[in-house]
């Protein structure tokens, strides 16, 4: 019998000083058995950094034609396509033709750096792609917050994020690499 996804719920309060966006979101995420706490929390980070009422999680682990998150307008046009991890560059190229903007969050430390160098030329050819790397120590700290029910406050300022929770504060180091 196949293992089922685990449901996680997060009350996420966002104060994005860079975009003047202040809102509370009640998130429900399905984590497949093959997904790590690191990836789950980077998906929540991606949501916080690009939060919008129209931004939503997809069933990306089960449906290979969908990103981790996307934002669609009322006509169904994809405004923002967000990937998390180390996708095939061909997937990003295809996404660039379907969406106004494509955003990739890398989070695998040294493995991400190697992947980026191997694929840099192809990625640079994608006109509407932006790549942001989440520093490895930040990802480990975020993974420590993963619980089936989470209450998180995220403050975004000067392109960086901080997550406050019951046990303290996690500073998230981000850098745009492409």
Strands laid side by side in the 160-165 sheet = 21-31, 6-16, 149-157, 160-165, 168-172
Residue 158 located in a structural domain: yes
Q: Is the pTM of this model over 0.85?
A: yes
Q: Please report whether residue 1 resides in a domain.
A: no
Host domain of residue 128: 6-176
Return the DSSP state at 3: P
Q: Which of 52, 107, 108, 48 is nearest to 79 (CA)?
A: 52
Q: Is residue 165 part of a domain?
A: yes
136 within domain boundaries: yes
Tell me the CATH number at 89: 3.10.640.10
Picking from 166, 170, 159, 164, the residue whose alpha carbon sits closest to that of residue 50 is 159
For the stretch 42-85, pLDDT in tens is 999 999 999 999 999 997 655 578 999 999 999 999 999 999 99
pLDDT of residue 169: 96
């Amino acid at each position: 019998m196949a293992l089922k996804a685990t449901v996680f719920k997060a009350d996420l309060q966002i104060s994005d000083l860079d975009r003047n966006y202040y809102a509370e979101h009640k998130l429900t995420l399905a984590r497949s058995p093959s997904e790590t706490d690191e990836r789950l929390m980077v998906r929540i980070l991606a949501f916080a950094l690009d939060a919008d009422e129209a931004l939503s999680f997809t069933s990306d682990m089960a449906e290979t034609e969908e990103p981790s998150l996307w934002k669609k307008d009322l006509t169904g046009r994809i405004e923002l396509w967000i990937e998390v991890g180390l996708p095939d560059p061909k997937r990003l190229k295809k996404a660039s033709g379907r969406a106004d903007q494509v955003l990739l969050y890398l989070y695998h430390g040294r493995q991400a750096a190697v992947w980026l160098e191997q694929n840099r030329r192809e990625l640079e050819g994608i006109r509407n792609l932006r790549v942001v790397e989440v520093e490895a120590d930040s990802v480990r700290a975020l993974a420590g917050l993963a619980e089936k029910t989470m209450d998180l406050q995220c403050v975004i300022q000067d392109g960086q994020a901080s997550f406050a929770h019951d046990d303290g504060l996690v500073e998230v180091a981000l850098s745009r690499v492409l």
